[in-house]
Amino acid sequence: MFEKYGGFGAVSKVVSAFYDKVLDSDVIGPYFDDVDMRRLVDHQTKFISDTMGGPASYSNEALRKVHAPHRIDRDANLEMARLLRETLLEFDIEPADVDAIMAEIEARSAYVISGPAT
């Protein structure tokens, strides 16, 4: 899938568009107030590439470590997933491939969510 959709360059464009939506979100935008967005886009490009079968990889422990201080709750994680799905579809990623990417992300959500249930 990674090569099918154009590799890192294409994934980076998707991730940049995704974060434009994230920053506009009342639900998750505030999580990113003091974040180096260029660095985050680079990391997220690698993470999404990983979910697409690309050469980058992130361990579950690394995901937990980076997200734990932010106390991300289920609603925030669901908003992130909604915006990512929307963005992937806007970039003409085939629906079955979007489902596969989102399944990978959902499978790892336990390592991202650490805040109280809402």
Number of domains in the chain: 1
As a whole number, the mean pLDDT across the chain is: 92
Residue 11 lies in a domain: yes
- Alpha-carbon span 113 to 108, nearest angstrom: 9
- pLDDT computed for residue 115 by the predictor: 66
User: According to the model, what pLDDT value does residue 30 have?
Assistant: 93
Query: According to the model, what pLDDT value does residue 99 have?
Result: 98
Would 26 be classed as within a structural domain?
A: yes
* Residue range(s) defining the domain that contains residue 12: 7-111
Query: What pLDDT is stored for residue 28 in this prediction?
Result: 94
Write down the pLDDT at residue 64: 86
Domain presence at residue 116: no
CATH number at residue 41: 1.10.490.10
For residue range 13-69, list pLDDT tens digits in order.
Answer: 999 999 999 999 999 999 999 899 999 999 999 999 999 999 988 788 888 888 888
Asked whether residue 1 carries a pLDDT value surpassing 70, the answer given is yes
7: pLDDT strictly greater than 90: yes
CA–CA distance from 26 to each of 1, 5, 36, 79, 83 (Å)?
Answer: 32, 30, 19, 10, 12
**What pTM value is reported for the model?**
0.90
